[in-house]
Amino acid sequence: MGLTKEEKENLKEKIPRDVNGILENYELPYRMDGIVIMNTAEKISFIGNVRIHDPSKVNMVKMEIESYLEKYGKVVINLRDVVPCCEAPYTYINFHIDYKVNEE
């Protein structure tokens, strides 16, 4: 059984709220606005990202976010260091959750 539209919408609000709570715990100013939901016949995917401007907190935040997201399915997290021209450098943490639709 897959997720209903209401369950997907609830997760679309809950995941960013909870990830933002993790960022607040580490006193990080950047907040996640939302996530993207992608539907296929085999799975539902949730995709999102956050910015971490404090390099000393990147690994701790990554581990906590990954641990939290694993309850929703298979998680893939990628890190990328970004040095923009007009703001402070940051690490971009991108996550992808595959929520498997049960096969009948």
Edge to edge, the sheet with strand 90-100 lists: 36-39, 43-52, 90-100, 74-82
Per-residue confidence (pLDDT) for residue 82, from 0 to 100: 95
For 8, half-sphere exposure in the C-beta direction (CA atoms, 13 angstrom radius) is 19
pLDDT along the chain (104 residues), means of 10: 86 96 95 92 92 96 96 95 92 92 54
Q: Say what the pTM is.
A: 0.88
Residue pointed to by tokens 């049960």: 102
Q: Answer for the pair 36, 9: CB distance below 8 angstroms, yes or no.
A: no
What domains are there in the chain, each with its CATH number? 5-100 (3.30.70)
For residues 66-85, one letter each, b for 16 or more C-beta atoms within 10 angstroms of the residue's C-beta and e for the rest, the string is eebbeebeebeeeeeeeeee
Per-residue confidence (pLDDT) for residue 41, from 0 to 100: 80
Question: 3-class DSSP state for residue 61?
Answer: helix
Residue pointed to by tokens 């021209």: 85
- The model's pLDDT over 81-94, given as tens digits with 9 standing for 90+, comes to 999 999 889 999 99
